[in-house]
């Protein structure tokens, strides 16, 4: 694994940034003291007099037109609110004890002529504080405000009539708050749409987005083409033997051929025993000219009498018993299975099933799947063939109807077609034969996930045989390495087998 690849570095930085942001928020919430704060803002500052220096004279009616000394009059609406995170009490205003007021509003260059106070909805109690005895006074350009207690989010407004200067002259609110401050309000105005995120949140979001986009770009532009198998070789290779392992071999042959230019791998299985014999015969004919370009797969170890063949343990293969869907049984004991194949049980009604004769659909003598079934499940050979069409008995003396077929696909097709039929095949992940279903043995079902702990008996090691030791640079050696130790392990597991090269597979392949 490339630990220091670009995508790994960006991914780690993204994760670290996310963790730091989360920790920073928690630290801020727990460690940074929540401040008390009074904010203020001028919501309106407009002329109502006739002495306008930079615009046309205002139109005035009623009191505004009749009252003398209003030529330079202006109206200011000032909002004062608790925009901090804590409530503010009377005692939170700083200043001498004999000083009644808490805040001072200063209108530079203007003179206060009138004041109207309004409060926020639901805060009628605030009006009790706006009395001269509580500290509300004005003199010249100043308004002294009482020590008004404000809950979080509460506010009041001052509508002030002023004379003496033009619109826009400075307005300032001063005062002291214990563990807090008085400042111009920077929050959104009531008629403004508040920002969805704060400045820190926006920064973190942008940073994380940049990291994610960078990581995605690296993944998109990088070359994900897998490297060719180590030790690619040219030429042509034939893989024969086990039909149970054929789906694995077909996929591996195709992938190897695409990855290795000039290599052709042909899969031509005829059964485990037939493949062993073909390899031995071709090797003997080759003589001193070398090992033939032939690889034989076998369900289980080769028969005795082939000393020239060299074995390689590839995978642990699981096999299954399948029964026609007209037989609603999902589990059989070993003793029951043996009784069926001895001919002691000839009708499914003897097992509580339907009134259907038992039909045995088996493989021919070259089949490794059959050999494993006989050795691991029956503990003896199957009975002789008694039927050619798998439905009628050709031998009247036979105790059970039994036929033999050449391939796994033929077995599955016949079991699904014939009512009351039972057969066996290799385990094919994700596939269910049409018209048939898998049955457990002694309550144990075949599964790669439990192969190391389950008592399921119908399993065997898959062997790959070569004639002697082929040259290290040959296509036989290269494909065998690809199959048993290279990228082929993923394909093996995908098809429901356990590679011997895995820790669990290594233990089972070493014990069996």
How far is residue 446 from each of residues 149, 263, 351, 374, 482, measured CA to CA in Å?
A: 76, 36, 22, 17, 26
C-alpha 130: how far from its chain's center? 62
- Residue 372 structure tokens: 């494993």
* Res 432: pLDDT: 79
- Contact call for residues 79 and 40 (beta carbons, < 8 A): yes
Q: How far apart are CA 102 and CA 266, in angstroms?
A: 95
Mean pLDDT of the chain: 84
Q: Are 180 and 36 in contact (CB under 8 A)?
A: yes
Q: Kindly report, residue by residue over 229-256, the tens digit of the pLDDT.
A: 557 889 999 999 988 888 999 999 999 9
Whether pLDDT at 510 is above 50: yes
The pair of structure tokens assigned to 146 is 């009482």
Contact 300, 479 (CB under 8 A): no
Q: State the angle between helix axes of 475-484 and 246-259 in degrees (0 to 180), rounded to the nearest 10.
A: 120
Q: Which two tokens stand for residue 494?
A: 């995908």
Rounded CA separation 266/429 (Å): 23
What burial class does residue 305 get, using C-beta atoms within 10 Å of its C-beta: 0-12 exposed, 13-18 middle, 19+ buried? Answer: exposed
Report the largest interatomic distance among the alpha carbons of the chain, rounded to a whole angstrom: 135
pLDDT range class, residue 194, cuts 50, 70, 90: low
Place of tokens 């300032």: 172
Higher per-residue pLDDT: 186 or 506: 506
User: What's the rounded Cα separation, in Å, for the pair 245 and 231?
Assistant: 24
Q: Which of 12-21, 67-76, 124-133, 377-386 is modeled with the greatest confidence?
A: 377-386
Strands 235-241 vs 263-267: parallel, antiparallel or unpaired: parallel
pLDDT in tens, 126-173: 888 888 888 888 999 999 999 999 998 889 999 999 988 888 889 999
116-144 in b/e burial notation, b at 16+ Cβ within 10 A?
Answer: ebebbeebeebeebbeeebbbebeebebb
pLDDT at residue 384 in the model: 94
Residue 414 pLDDT: 96
Residues 160 and 74: beta-carbon distance below 8 Å? no
Residues near 378 by Cβ (< 8 Å), separated by ≥ 6? 337, 338, 341
Q: How much is the CA Rg of the chain, to the nearest whole Å?
A: 45
Which position has the token pair 């093996």?
492
What are 430-477's pLDDT values in tens digits?
A: 667 899 999 999 999 988 888 878 889 999 999 999 999 899 889 999
The confidence score (pLDDT) of residue 195 equals 54
- The C-alpha atoms of residue 425 and residue 416 are separated, in whole angstroms, by 13
Contacts (Cβ under 8 Å, ≥6 apart) of 131:
146
Confirm whether pTM is higher than 0.85.
no
Residue 287 above 60 pLDDT?
yes
Q: Is the model's pLDDT at 1 over the cut of 50?
A: no
pLDDT for position 58: 64
Contact 358, 423 (CB under 8 A): no
- pLDDT, tens digit (0-9, with 9 covering 90-100), for 367-416: 889 999 999 999 999 999 999 999 999 999 999 999 999 888 899 999 99
SS3 content of the chain, % helix, strand, coil (to 5): 30, 25, 40
């Amino acid at each position: 694994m490339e630990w220091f690849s670009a995508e790994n570095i960006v991914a780690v930085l993204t994760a670290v940034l996310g963790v730091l942001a989360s920790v920073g928020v928690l630290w801020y919430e727990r460690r940074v003291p929540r401040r008390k704060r009074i904010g203020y803002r001028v919501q309106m500052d407009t002329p109502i007099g006739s002495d306008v220096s930079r615009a046309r004279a205002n139109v005035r009616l009623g009191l505004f037109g009749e009252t003398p000394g209003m030529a330079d009059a202006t109206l200011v609406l000032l909002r004062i609110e608790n925009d901090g995170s804590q409530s503010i009490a009377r005692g939170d205003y700083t200043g001498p004890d004999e000083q009644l007021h808490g805040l001072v509003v200063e209108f530079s260059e203007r003179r206060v002529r009138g004041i109207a106070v309004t409060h926020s909805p639901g805060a009628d109690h605030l009006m009790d504080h706006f009395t001269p005895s509580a500290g509300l006074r004005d003199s010249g350009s100043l308004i002294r405000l009482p020590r008004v207690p404000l809950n979080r989010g509460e506010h009041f407004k001052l509508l002030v009539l002023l004379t003496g200067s033009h619109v826009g002259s400075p307005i300032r609110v001063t005062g002291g708050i214990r563990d807090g401050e008085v400042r111009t309000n920077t929050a959104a105005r009531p008629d403004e749409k508040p920002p969805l995120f704060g400045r820190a949140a926006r920064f973190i979001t942008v940073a994380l987005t940049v990291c994610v986009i960078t990581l995605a770009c690296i993944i998109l532009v990088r070359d994900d083409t897998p490297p060719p198998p180590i030790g690619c070789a040219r030429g042509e290779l034939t893989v024969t033997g086990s039909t149970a392992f054929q789906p694995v071999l077909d996929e591996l042959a195709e992938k190897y051929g695409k990855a290795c230019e000039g290599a052709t791998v042909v899969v031509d299985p005829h059964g485990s025993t037939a493949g062993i014999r073909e390899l031995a015969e071709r090797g003997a004919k080759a003589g001193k000219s070398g090992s033939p370009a032939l690889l034989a797969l076998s369900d289980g170890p080769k028969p005795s009498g082939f000393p020239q063949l060299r074995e390689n343990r590839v995978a642990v293969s699981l096999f299954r018993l399948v029964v026609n869907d007209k037989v609603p049984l999902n589990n059989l004991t070993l003793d029951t299975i043996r009784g069926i194949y001895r001919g002691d049980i000839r009708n499914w009604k003897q097992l509580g099933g339907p009134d259907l004769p038992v039909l045995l659909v088996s493989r021919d003598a070259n089949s490794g799947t059959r050999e494993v079934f006989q050795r691991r499940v029956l503990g003896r050979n199957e009975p002789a063939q008694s039927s050619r069409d798998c439905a009628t008995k050709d031998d009247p003396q036979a105790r059970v109807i039994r036929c033999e077929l050449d391939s796994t696909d033929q077995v599955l097709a016949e079991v699904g077609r014939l009512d009351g039929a039972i057969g066996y095949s290799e385990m094919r992940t994700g596939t269910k034969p049409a018209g048939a279903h898998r049955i457990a043995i002694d309550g144990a079902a075949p599964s790669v996930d439990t192969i190391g702990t389950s008592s399921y008996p119908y399993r065997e090691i898959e062997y790959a045989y070569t004639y002697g030791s082929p040259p290290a640079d040959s296509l036989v050696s290269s494909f065998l390495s690809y199959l048993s130790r290279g990228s082929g392990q993923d394909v093996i597991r995908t098809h429901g087998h356990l590679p011997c090269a895995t820790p669990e597979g290594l233990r089972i392949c070493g014990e069996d």
